[in-house]
Amino acid sequence: MKRTFVLLILSVISLAVARAGDVKVEATMMTEPHGRELTAYTADAPRLYAIFKTKGTEAGDNIRCAWIADDVGDAAAKGTKIDEKTITAKGEMEGEFSLSKPTPGWPIGKYHIEIYVNDGLATNVKFEIKAAGKSKKDSEQEEEESGD
C-alpha cells in the first residue's frame, strides 16, 4: 500500500515537471502596450510595460511578474523586489504587466523583471533607467537664454 502511494506521488510530480518544461513565455519591455520595444527608459517615464506571450499555459495557471532593482546606487539594495503582480491565465495568452513611476521618479540604474508560471521561472528581461534627456525645445530655450 505504501509503495503504491509513493509511486502515485512520484507520477504526479513527474507530470508536473514535464508540464512545466512545456510552458514558454516570451516577454519584452515597451513604452506602452502597443509601443516600441526597448531596453532602456528615461527617469521621467510615466509607466513601464512588460508585454508577454505564453505558449503551453492552461486556464487557471498563475502568471506572476516580479519587478527587481539590480543596481540603483543608494536608492535600494541589490535584488530589491519593487513590486509583484499575479494574473490567472485563460489558456495560452498575451498580456501585460505595468509599473507606475514613483513620486520621486525612477532611480537611475539597472533592473529586470522575472515572469513565473505556477512558481516556475519562465523568463526574465533586463532593462535600464537612464537620466532624462533634454528635449529639443529645452535645448533651444537654454541657447536663447545664454545668448549663443
Q: What is the pLDDT of residues 17-35, one digit of tens each?
A: 434 568 999 999 998 888 8
Domain 24-132: top CATH class: mainly beta
pLDDT value at 138 more than 80: no
Q: What is the pLDDT of residues 72-106, one digit of tens each?
A: 999 999 999 999 999 999 999 999 999 999 988 89
Residue 11: C-alpha distances to residues 5, 22, 86 (Å): 10, 17, 28
pLDDT value at 139 more than 50: no
pLDDT for residue 34: 84
pLDDT value at 136 more than 80: no
DSSP 58: -
